[in-house]
Amino acid sequence: MENVYLTIVLAPLIAAIIAGFFGRKIGTTGAHWVTIVGVGISFLLSLRVFWDQWLGGAEVFNGSVYTWMVSEGVRFEVGFLIDRLSAMMMTVVTFVSLMVHIYTIGYMKGDPGYQRFFAYISLFTFAMLMLVMSNNFLQLFFGWEAVGVVSYLLIGFWYKRPSAIHANLKAFLINRVGDFGFLLGIAAIFLYFNSMDYAEVFAAAPGVEGETMSIIAGWEWSVMTVICILLFIGAMGKSAQVPLHTWLPDSMEGPTPISALIHAATMVTAGIYMVARMSPMFELSVTALSVVLIVGAVTALFMGILGLVQHDIKRVVAYSTLSQLGYMTVALGVSAYAAGIFHLMTHAFFKALLFLAAGSVIIAMHHIQDMRQMGGLRKYMPITYWTCLIGALALIGFPGFSGFFSKDGIIEAVALSEIPGATFAYWAVLIGVFVTALYTFRMFFLTFHGEERMDDHTRKDLKESPWVVTVPLILLAIPSVIVGAPFVSSMLLGDFFAEGIHVAAERDVLAMLGEKYDGAMALLMHGLVAPPVYLAFAGVALAWFLWLKRPDIPAAMAQRFSAVHKLLENKYYFDHLNEKLIAPAGRGLGRLFWQVGDVRLIDGLVVNGSARLVGWVSGVARRVQTGFLYHYAFAMVIGLTALVAWLILR
């Protein structure tokens, strides 16, 4: 099987190299075919691995495929850990990537960077697979940084647009903040465990549970708490949690296919996957879990609210992604790791569907993204309409759809938790259900229903997108409906991830949930009488009333509550805080270090000072070397006299 795992990883890499370096020779058709075949091979083999892990009874594979370096007994390797957790992630990543590759043929048609784009998205798939398949922290960090670099290239793909360059720099810099914490966490693991291997670190973690470290003199910190919080800071950047979230909405400047690939199913879920994989460590620190829980709850509620004031169709979906990542993070915080991963899986399908449906609309609207210039698209784009409706229903948790089981599972798990912050988190995710339904169907009604607000030229050209766009929509709509129920008993309520996820018995809220509900039908029956379903229906009804029946009310409310509306339009002023306070402070600190450290200390004292000292010594020596013999004889006499005097007097 080792060759199979290598093929899964290397097929997209080889395809990316061919499309990137030989794109002009193979042409546009060759570029998309070679990358589609490469990712298609990875998907089929990943599906086989998942099948073997799920039903075939395959054993967990944990082995090295290449040793990079051995230093004082510590091995730095490239290796794979293949269990049900990684197998599920591999399947989701490659399937969504395959759909995006096919979709891109239609979306990027005629773009001068066509071959380059296919090379980038195939390279991104390789990087994400390296991350999820890794069995050690070194390879994890490689994949972590690689997806960051490729996302930088993809967000700024249209590099002639100033807004795209601003967006990719913003994403890169904010992720560097998170990655700095992540790197410190890995360094602390190396310091205390003297190993980079997951299995060795997890086995030794209980022995470090009681140890403390002194970061500030007089203050003792739990080693496990510090390590877990540092790792989570990395997850906050990659998975866009408050306050390291501001890069994700701006990243919509990139082409729509990357919104589905990066911001629905892959890169932004890397942080969720990482924390779940590190569960044996997080379970040793309730403080770290509480931090994870509260950050996730704040993100889930308050980022969802921002979707209510967005006019760009892609930004609405982007803020939805932020909110749903918050739900996954909340699940991690209450030790319901399996629920978070289950929601990650279902969310990947219906959020990729919504992004690609938004892209289909943008194609038809000649790249107009403002929903205020849309309306009535249902009759022009029936396939996009129905698939988008399926994605919207899955997102709000309509009974029976995939999102219903995963989202309700999280809400029920939080209700059973006693971790500090669980009460706040429960109300946040519960209110978030109403908010999700409200902004989702605001987007849906403004886009597909009501009066047609586009100009005559755009209306004349309106038509359904080509098959390379609509086929991926249909293929993503299918799992958006059916992928939830079959896995409720195993993934959500069972021990599907037992080999990859560890939960302390006293905090196993999913086990408690499993005692109450024995499967999908029981959870569905309970859900039909539970608050989330009615909150979702209320959100849909209110969206219909406000934006179809009485569109004058939202405008009047924006004027009446102008302060609140301004707060939301300015995204709680996080960007202002970054641009007006944090960034200038960082630049000022950098200038200070530059002037004091570089200019005065290094250049002034060390480099130039050394040169001046050598020059002064040389000047003195030059005066001594006169060239007159009697001067040298006199110096020799003085030296000899001093030496004799020292020998006599010592």
pLDDT of residue 254: 82
pLDDT of residue 643: 84
Share of the chain above pLDDT 70, in %: 98
pLDDT of residue 74: 79
pLDDT digit string (tens) for 274-300?
999 999 999 999 999 999 999 999 999
pLDDT digit string (tens) for 393-437?
999 999 999 999 999 999 999 999 999 999 999 999 999 999 999
Q: What average pLDDT does range 84-97 have in this prediction? A: 93
pLDDT digit string (tens) for 481-490?
999 999 998 9
pLDDT digit string (tens) for 548-607?
999 899 989 988 888 998 999 888 888 888 877 877 887 788 787 777 767 777 777 777
Please provide the average confidence, as pLDDT, over all residues in the chain: 89
Cis before 243 (ω within 30):
yes
Could you tell me how many residues make up the chain? 650
pLDDT digit string (tens) for 193-241?
989 999 999 999 998 888 888 877 778 889 999 999 999 999 999 998 9
d(CA 471, CA 147): 27
Contact 116, 95 (CB under 8 A): no
Annotate 425-479 with DSSP letters as a single string: HHHHHHHHHHHHHHHHHHHHHHHHSSS--S-HHHHHH--PPPHHHHHHHHHHHHH
Share of the chain above pLDDT 90, in %: 59
Q: What average pLDDT does range 15-32 have in this prediction? A: 91
What HEC string does 101-118 produce? HHHHHHHCCCCCCHHHHH
Residue with tokens 């022995």: 207
Q: Give, in degrees to the nearest 5, the angle at Cα 485 between 482 and 486.
A: 90
AA identity, residue 467: W
d(CA 424, CA 298): 9
- Taking alpha carbons only, the member of 146, 134, 274, 142 closest to residue 197 is 134
pLDDT digit string (tens) for 636-649?
888 888 888 878 87
Cα–Cα distances in Å, from 195 out to 71, 199, 481, 491, 577?
11, 10, 43, 31, 39
pLDDT of residue 265: 62
Q: What are phi and psi of 59, to 5 degrees?
A: -80, 155
- Backbone dihedral region of 218: left (phi > 0), alpha (psi from -120 to 50 degrees) or beta? left
Q: Taking the model in full, what pTM does it have?
A: 0.90
pLDDT digit string (tens) for 495-545?
899 888 999 999 999 999 988 888 889 999 988 889 999 999 999 999 999
| pLDDT band at residue 625 using 50, 70 and 90 as cut-offs | confident
pLDDT of residue 361: 93
Beta strands in 363-425 (DSSP E): none
| pLDDT band at residue 307 using 50, 70 and 90 as cut-offs | very high
d(CA 288, CA 224): 9
634 or 337: which leads in pLDDT: 337
pLDDT digit string (tens) for 24-33?
889 989 999 9
Q: What's the token pair of residue 356?
A: 């690609």
Q: What single-letter DSSP state applies at residue 277?
A: H
d(CA 605, CA 595): 12
pLDDT at residue 456 greater than cutoff 90? no
Beta bridge partners of 64: 79
- Backbone dihedral region of 31: left (phi > 0), alpha (psi from -120 to 50 degrees) or beta? alpha
With the C-alpha atoms ordered 599, 601, 606, 608, is the resulting torsion angle positive or negative?
positive
CA Rg value for the chain: 29
- Taking alpha carbons only, the member of 252, 524, 555 closest to residue 404 is 524
pLDDT at residue 264 greater than cutoff 70? no
What HEC string does 333-367 produce? HCCCHHHHHHHHHHHHHHHHHHHHHHHHHHHHCCC
Contact 405, 520 (CB under 8 A): yes
